[in-house]
Structure 1
Amino acid sequence: MMLKRSFFSSNLKSSERIGPHDFLIIELFFGSLLGDCYAEKRNNSTRFVFHQSSRNVEYISFLVNTLVEFGYCSKGLKKKKQIGKKNKVYFSIKKATFSFSSLNWVYDCFYSDKKKKIPDEISFYLTARALAFWLMDDGSRTKYGIVISTNSFTRDDINRLRKALLQNFDLETTIQVQNENQYRIYFPKSQIVKLRKIVQPFFVNSMLYKLDPYNLN
């Protein structure tokens, strides 16, 4: 049963937002933190920040609507204008949750000296739904497979993730070396059908293209 805590309003102190936290929300946080989401701990409380290109408005709207429904953030999205190379204009959407002292343990799982790492407990929290959030956030289709951008993690972190994927879902992966000390996790053609069956039920429609390599057939 899903327990929706509407009292997580902005008027409450972080120490008063004590849970319990529905496991769906924990899956969302863990899956997103494997990608571009980041956590901030300040004043002995933790909040989670989501940042997506405006092209992914359906996806971040889904995330925010879920968090609003369970009482973890306020309603509404705001676009942010950014200037890129050659003065090209980009728009992105950024959204932060309320702060929770009862979620400091999630921050502690993912950070050491303010640097993101892969939790030792990742096998327990890497569920099918968490994997779907991770893929929607940081996955990309290639010519024959699917790759996850894990460039910021160490090789030991990557191997911990690959072990969890194999242990939890019987998914075999390889490591792609990008640059020195930068690695990506690759799902080869032989694993795509299995991967789709696992995560597709949790995918937002606008992100389904990521499960369709260009030359799969």
Structure 2
Amino acid sequence: VSQKCNELPNLIIYSLLPISSPRTPSLKRIGPHNIEILSILMGSLLGDASMERDGKGTRVCFYQERSHGEYLLWLHRTLYSLGYCKPEVPKLTIRKSQGDELRYIYRLRSYTYSSWNWVYDSFYIIKGDKRIKKVPKCIEEYLTPLALAVWIMDDGCLIKNRGIKISTNSFTLEEVKYLSSIISKKYGINTSFVKTGAINQYEIYFPKKTLSTLIEIIKPHIHPSMYYKLGNKS
């Protein structure tokens, strides 16, 4: 199925084909891809989630530190209830980071769908032997309140007595400006972008005066374990 990023009516697909069985070939998993799952995908991919493509189909991979385990398990329950992953609960695994420091990680992978290839193509470009994540041009259509909430749960951080920032370090300045403009256009929230201190890395910043509006929009979708990111307005 060939799908373009700006063809929204063609992306919310309903089908009688089984999608919740791991034995169903990826080419036959064509839906349903309703706005709920697309919002979770888009919000997560703006954050730390990634996609894997095997030639026939694409799956999404979620990773969270142990401290955010409740959030990852909520993602699992949500995906499973919608038929997008196995019922087995993700287990805590141990990884070594730089300096041989041990990291405790929860990992969740969805089923593979050929009808998610367009999402992969929207988020990634290949330069030589490197794969670079980009901001899709169609992200405005999918930056729903749920997607914004997932993005903030994934990559948001409360700045005490100031506001909330979202880590957008991997995106270019032009992409960060584009995301900021979408938030302003869709939700009437004026954000700014600030340097992180690293070369060519920026973050989106929600000033303190905008938090009441932001929280009103996203709180219905925020998992309780992430209320701390909303500060004393939770």
Query: TM-score normalized by structure 1?
Result: 0.92
Q: 1-side partners of 2:227 and 2:18: how far apart?
A: 31
What is the deviation of 1:19? 1.1
What letter is aligned with 2:40? Answer: L
2:230 aligned partner, one-letter code:
L
SS of the residue corresponding to residue 212 of structure 1 reads: helix
Question: Unaligned regions of 5+ residues in structure 1, if any?
Answer: none
Question: Does residue 181 in structure 1 map to residue 193 in structure 2?
Answer: no
Flag the 1:126–1:96 CA change in 2: closer, same or farther, 3 A. same
Q: Which residue of 2 aligns with 1:161?
A: 179
Q: Using a 3 Å threshold, how does the CA distance of structure 1 residues 83 and 4 change in structure 2: closer, same or farther? A: farther
Please give the root-mean-square deviation of Cα atoms over the aligned residues, in Å: 1.9
**8 Å CA contact retained: 2:156, 2:166:** yes
TM-score by length of 2: 0.86
**d(CA) in 1 for partners of 2:181 and 2:158?**
22
Query: In the aligned structure 2, how far is the partner of 1:4 from the partner of 1:166?
Result: 39
The aligned runs of 1:13-28 (5 Å cut-off) are: 13-28=25-40
- Structure 2 runs not aligned, ≥5 long: 1-13
SS of residue in 1 equivalent to 2:153 = helix
Query: Does the 8 A contact of 2:195 with 2:201 survive in 1?
Result: yes
Are 2:217 and 1:205 equivalent residues in the alignment? no
Q: Distance in 2 between matches of 1:155 and 1:69?
A: 37
Q: Kindly state the Cα deviation for residue 156 of structure 1 after the two structures are TM-superposed.
A: 0.8
Query: One-letter code of the match for 2:121?
Result: D
1:4, distance to aligned residue in structure 2 (A): 10
Find the counterpart in structure 2 of residue 111 from structure 1.
124
Once the two structures are TM-superposed, the CA of residue 57 in structure 1 deviates from its matched residue by 1.2
Q: Is the 8 A contact 1:30 1:130 kept in 2?
A: yes
Alignment pair present for 1:10 and 2:18: no
Shift of 1:101: 0.1
> Are residues 1:55 and 2:67 paired?
yes
| Correspondent of 2:115 among 99, 102, 122 | 102
Deviation sequence 1:115-135 (CA, Å, 0-9, x none): 110011111110111000000
**Match of residue 121, structure 1, among 129, 138, 143:** 138
C-alpha displacement at 1:58, in angstroms?
1.0
**CA displacement at 1:44 relative to structure 2:** 2.5
2:80 to 55, 63, 68: 68
What is the aligned residue count? 213
